[in-house]
Amino acid sequence: MIKNNYPGKFIVIEGLDGSGKSAQVDLVIDYLKQNEKDVVVTKEPTVDSEAGKKVKQALRHEISVEPLELQGLYVQDRKEHLENKVIPALKDGKFVVSSRYAFSTFAYGYSDGLDVDLLIKMNDNFLLPDLTIIVDVSPESCVQRIEGRGEPKELFEKLEKLTKVGEIYKKLPNMFENVVMVNGERPIPEVSEDIKKTINSEILK
């Protein structure tokens, strides 16, 4: 992946479905704004591209898509996301905070039986975030949380799939620069404090 040489900073929050990732994204945004940063908030898949819309349909079981084709849709959506939203904001010196990015493709594609090296190669020409935080929560805890929502489960929201996703997430800090695991099994404020410390040492130093 390509190092970010733009004046802005690119921060990604990753984690299993049900890991509490969304709450941490909101707290990161608040923290950056407290530090007087101009923040752009985004997430993947987007709903701005045709590819992103198809991904959403597949996740909700509205259409059937083969695993490799699905990850290809993610990649196309990511390309447009970077070109249209992320890179213009970074050029302007803004802080971009994204819920999910290419690392989701590596982990979730692997859970669907795809080769990790192939998935990484599909994302080779994309930006490497300045910081990726993985909120680490056990698949069992995530499934409990998902079931507690009382909503229909999406494509990957099953214990077997999430277990495989977690396997790859745990390997990512050794595979890529700027990737940090944070224990997400604790109360939200404690997790947030760890993430703030990481942002201070890696981004705001």
Q: How many CB atoms lie within 10 A of CB 164?
A: 19
E runs forming strands in 16-167: 39-43, 95-99, 127-128, 131-136
Residue recorded with tokens 């923040």: 39
At residue 143, the pLDDT reads 84
33-82 pLDDT tens trace: 999 999 999 999 999 999 999 999 998 889 999 999 999 999 999 999 99
159-181 pLDDT tens trace: 888 899 999 999 999 999 999 99
**Which pTM does this prediction carry?**
0.93
Q: How many CB atoms lie within 10 A of CB 111?
A: 20
Lookup: tokens for 137: 């929560």
At residue 152, the pLDDT reads 59
For the chain, the domains span 2-202
Class of domain 2-202: alpha beta
- What's the CA dihedral at 161, 98, 57, 115 to 10 degrees? -40
